[in-house]
Amino acid sequence: MAVRELVENSLDAAELAGMLPDVYVRIVANDPSAENANQEPKAYRVTVADNGPGVDPHHVPRAFGKVFYGSKYVLRQSRGMFGMGGTMAILYGQITTNKPVKITTSTDGKSRHIFEMLIDISENKPIILRKDTEEGAGKTGTRVDVILEGDFTRSAQKINEYFKQTALVGSYANLTFVDPIGRITTYERATESMPVAPKETLPHPHGIDVEALKRMIKITEEKNMEKFMGNKHFHRVGETNARKFLQFAGVDGKIAPEKLSNEQVVKVVDALQRFPEFLPPDASCLSPVGEQILTTGIIKELQPEFSTVVMRPPSSYSGFPFLVEVGLVYGGKVLEPGRKLFRFANRIPLLYDESSDVSFKVLNEEIDWRRYHVPEEAPVAVITHICSTKVPYKTVGKEYIADRPEIEAEIKNGVRESLRRLSVFLSKKGNMEASQRKMNIYGKYLPLIAQFSAGLAGQKREPRYKQLLQEEEQEAAEIKQEIEAEAQKDANGEKIIEQTAIEQTTIEDYR
């Protein structure tokens, strides 16, 4: 999933800079004339280009050529894990093909910087093979060319799925994907509003483990524990609470952090978990997709008959703030019969191990679908998005989310709320159909009844039966209006903008 990591980096970069992202991805066989050109796996050149702010040339070697770059001492909701996703992709390329990565970036649009480098794995540092500066093309952005071995035939389905789902939550991005056969798939921007970029935040004391604390002690410049605890190292901990906590933990406030013994560190971590007076984490650092962007994505990608988005209020688990968004989609042009689940964590589509995921568990074990009168074969898709400064993945593979009770409860609440809305829609739709049917039947038989009764009674004039039809018609029209008003409300986040054609030139600039 090298493609994914690189794309996530590009999206993150553009979003952080508040720029509407355009991301271009191309996969081509690296050497089409090679003898084994038709065999899989083989070497592919993966190109990912974005219109983001670019990377300062001084940072390029470290940003792309070093694993674990950055002192991730502050927390931020981000797609990649500790910013190493992209590097891992580069490393993977190097391991499988021993070819350097090529980075092209421009921060000002005037000049662009080209790097070719390898990573010295044992030293964990970049080896720069080429460094050039050229005349820029007036656009900022970064382009990464990495050559890696892969089996496109096998991964094609997942890659396509990845783009589709990314477009679902990223309706503000232009995505272009060119596959090795040259087929171009574009997902066009449908809204100009972007989610608010996530803010950096200090770690919450509940979320600190022994390793994290040791790392913080190493970095800190504070000379005593009181200052260390109370002075902008922890989320929402002030001086007063710091003093209270140290008392609770039985640690001297005057002691220098680096003087703490191993046992004392463990003691502090234990107390950090148990101290009842820490304020709950503040969720302002979270950046959900948002109802409007998600709705836009759903309408654009799934063209549904009905959709709704439920935003749950922020909550926290083990000191990490999180927020759940649930989208429910019904019917329309794309969905097929049966339930589908789209899982996202910090806007990344999760594509593997669905059945181990907490959302899957909620949907299949904890929701009684019959209560909402949604049959099993109904064309329904559920979208769950969990954003957090730390998403509790079950494994390092980052493919499915553990069933933390707090998260599980929020997903359940969100799904239930969305199902209630669907249920209301379905019953109204049923009423409308029934009413329509009734109208048709009345319209067919009442005139006949009128004719025969007039004949039987020896009346020349038809009885005034049309008033009955009008009453029914009125009733049907009322129900219809109600449904349409509801649909209007759903679509009224913000107007979907005219779809802009993707500017292919943006991409060419980086070639």
Partner 1 sequence: MQVALKGLGQNVYADLDAGRFPAVSFASRSVKNIVYDKKLQQFILGTNSVRRSAGNIKHIRPFTQLLWLAFFSKKLVDEKRTSTLRDVYYSAQAFNVEFMDQAESDELITDLEVLLESAREEFNVYPEERSAIFGNLTVEYTVKGYEGKRLDLSSHPDGMMIGPALTTAEFRDTDAEMVLAIEKGGLFTRFIEEKVHEKYKAILINTAGQPPRSTRYILRRLHEELKLPIGILCDADPWGAHIAMVIKSGSANAAHLRDLTTPSAVWLGVWASDIVKYKLPSDPLTEIDIKRLYELKADPRYKDKMWHDELDTFLKIKKKSEQEAFSRYGLSYIVDKYLPEKLQLLKSH
For residues 82 and 452, which CB has a smaller minimum distance to partner 1 in the complex?
Answer: 452
Does residue 352 touch partner 1 according to CB under 8 A? no
Residue 248 CA to residue 268 CA, distance in Å, equals 10
Does residue 475 touch partner 1 according to CB under 8 A? no
State in angstroms the smallest separation of the CB of 433 from partner 1: 12
Does residue 454 touch partner 1 according to CB under 8 A? yes
Handedness of CA 141, 146, 152, 155 (dihedral sign): negative
Residues 262-321 that bind partner 1 (CB under 8 A): none
Q: Is 445 exposed, middle or buried (0-12, 13-18, 19+ CB in 10 A)?
A: exposed
**Phi then psi dihedrals of residue 282, to 5 deg:** -85, 130
Structure tokens at 283: 């969720």
Handedness of CA 389, 391, 396, 397 (dihedral sign): negative
Binds partner 1 (CB under 8 A): choice among 420, 465, 475, 503: 465
Does residue 474 touch partner 1 according to CB under 8 A? no
**Phi then psi dihedrals of residue 119, to 5 deg:** -110, 130
Does residue 448 touch partner 1 according to CB under 8 A? yes
Does residue 442 touch partner 1 according to CB under 8 A? yes
Give the closest residue to 408 by CA, choosing from 351, 350, 363: 363
Does residue 449 touch partner 1 according to CB under 8 A? yes
Binds partner 1 (CB under 8 A): choice among 29, 468, 487, 496: 468
For residues 438 and 511, which CB has a smaller minimum distance to partner 1 in the complex?
Answer: 438
State in angstroms the smallest separation of the CB of 445 from partner 1: 5
Does residue 455 touch partner 1 according to CB under 8 A? yes
For residues 470 and 492, which CB has a smaller minimum distance to partner 1 in the complex?
Answer: 470
Q: Between the CA of residue 405 and those of 315, 318, 356, what are the distances in Å? A: 12, 11, 15
Give how many residues touch partner 1 by CB under 8 A. Answer: 23
Q: Between the CA of residue 36 and those of 30, 33, 145, what are the distances in Å? A: 11, 8, 22
State in angstroms the smallest separation of the CB of 431 from partner 1: 13
Specify whether the CB–CB gap between 5 and 88 falls below 8 A: yes
Residue 165 CA to residue 145 CA, distance in Å, equals 24
State in angstroms the smallest separation of the CB of 429 from partner 1: 18
Specify whether the CB–CB gap between 167 and 187 falls below 8 A: yes
Binds partner 1 (CB under 8 A): choice among 463, 473, 487, 494: 463
Binds partner 1 (CB under 8 A): choice among 16, 43, 367, 446: 446
Residues 400-429 that bind partner 1 (CB under 8 A): none
Does residue 254 touch partner 1 according to CB under 8 A? no
Residue 237 CA to residue 234 CA, distance in Å, equals 6
Binds partner 1 (CB under 8 A): choice among 38, 355, 456, 501: 456
Binds partner 1 (CB under 8 A): choice among 218, 223, 371, 437: 437
Does residue 430 touch partner 1 according to CB under 8 A? no
**Cis omega (within 30 of 0) for bond into 392:** no
Where on the chain is the footprint of partner 1 (CB under 8 A)?
Answer: 437-438, 441-442, 445-446, 448-450, 452-459, 463-465, 467-468, 471
